[in-house]
Structure 1
Amino acid sequence: MSDDIDVRAWLQERGTDTVKHPGGTLYKHLCRVSDRLADLGHGPQVQAAGLTHAAYGTDGFDLALLFWQERDELRGLVGEEAEELVFLYGSCDRDRSWRRLAETGEVTNRFTGAVTSLKGDQLTVFVDLTAVNELDVIAKDPSILARNRKSFTELFTAWAKVASEPVSKEMRLAL
């Protein structure tokens, strides 16, 4: 596993500092998500996942930094635990997963259709990463929250049951 400096250099080599994203660039967004996860009490593996969460693209941001079939490259960079979380996040079919996530713990893979069941800490970490990503986006572009307030209110209210206490508090404050 590489250190944070190597991961950030890898992200810049992949052009993330030239990709527009709410609040500036994709690179800045990735760094903010990682930093916020740290501030909210998550350890190095979750922070590394936050820093690279868009590596395979996402259901809401289609640009991939590498193909999901090339998981070994990211695994070597951030470690197995972080890469597993990045893959879960990037492969999540939001329409089929998010609304009932807190109730079922099920994440449907948008690439394969497979369903992964999360329990306990796995679910909390996934929800925390997902929520922190959304919190950063709406903080940098409040019009997204204004246009989607009902959806975010429903999601964040449901997710608060399985999120960590610090992330639950952040979700409440954002609304």
Structure 2
Amino acid sequence: MTPSDHRGIPDRDRIEDFLHTHGADRIPHPGGTLLAHLRRVAALLATWGCTPAVQAAGLCHAAYGTDGFDRALLALDRRSDLAELVGLPAEALVHLYASCDRAATYPRLGTDERPLFRDRFTGDDHTPTDEDLRAFLAVTAANELDVLAHNAELATRHGPALYGLFARVDDLLPPAAWQACIDLLGPDATDRPRHN
């Protein structure tokens, strides 16, 4: 994931139309609406040099809901609809992100414990490929940093644990993502103002 990989999200207008059609612009979320959040996540991933597929996954990362946001835009039995829109690699990353059982998975990340992931939909454990893990972590960092930047209470409650998580996997994050984690969540960041 280098800056030279950034070429923008193909069919961005179609993807945003899909998100509008499925109500993302009407769902409240820290910093405004879910759609505004999804756009900011995709923009962060672009500035970090992530590929168009990872950016597209960031734009759609809440399509099936997440362990931290239970409002789904699309049922899991309609995965092929999203895959047709964003491509198979991006849809697979959206599914990986949505399926993550955070309580079981986060403590394993950055350790030697295997398997790394627990799927919250099936209860199955597995270990993603290195490429998928890096992409998952980039989307996770972009999502969490945006949420915490727009909600001081959540930043106070979850910031230290998330900083610990990202510190354990800093070598798997794009360098700019790790720097953003330090800037927003690091020990010296507690006195910096946050958006509400």
**TM-score, length of structure 2 as denominator length:** 0.84
Q: Of 54, 78, 91, which aligns to 2:62?
A: 54
Matched, 1:88 2:96: yes
Structure 2 counterpart of 1:23, one-letter code? G
Matched, 1:24 2:32: yes
Cα distance in 2 between the residues matched to 1:101 and 1:139: 23
Cα distance in 2 between the residues matched to 1:119 and 1:72: 22
Structure 2 counterpart of 1:26, one-letter code? L
Structure 2 counterpart of 1:6, one-letter code? R
Matched, 1:151 2:133: no
Q: By how many angstroms is 1:2 displaced? A: 6.4
Q: By how many angstroms is 1:116 displaced? A: 2.6
The equivalences for 1:91-110 within 5 A come to 91-103=99-111, 104=113, 106-110=116-120
Return 34-43 or 143-152, whichever deviates more. Answer: 143-152
Q: 8 Å contact 2:26–2:34 — kept in the other structure?
A: yes
- Give the structure with higher Rg (CA): 2
Determine what percentage of the aligned residue pairs are the same residue: 41
Q: 8 Å contact 2:145–2:184 — kept in the other structure?
A: yes
Matched, 1:140 2:150: yes
2:189 aligned partner: none
Q: Which has the higher helix share?
A: 1
2:172 aligned partner: 162
The equivalences for 1:122-133 within 5 A come to 122-133=132-143
Cα distance in 1 between the residues matched to 2:163 and 2:181: 9
Cα distance in 2 between the residues matched to 1:114 and 1:69: 18
Q: 8 Å contact 1:57–1:90 — kept in the other structure?
A: yes
**TM-score, length of structure 1 as denominator length:** 0.94
Structure 2 counterpart of 1:29, one-letter code? H
Q: 8 Å contact 1:156–1:172 — kept in the other structure?
A: no
Aligned Cα RMSD in Å?
1.6
Unaligned 5+ segments in structure 1 are none
Task: State the secondary structure of the residue aligned to 1:54.
Answer: coil
Cα distance in 2 between the residues matched to 1:13 and 1:2: 19
Q: Of 16, 25, 42, which aligns to 1:8?
A: 16
How many residues align? The count is 175
Unaligned 5+ segments in structure 2 are 1-8, 186-196
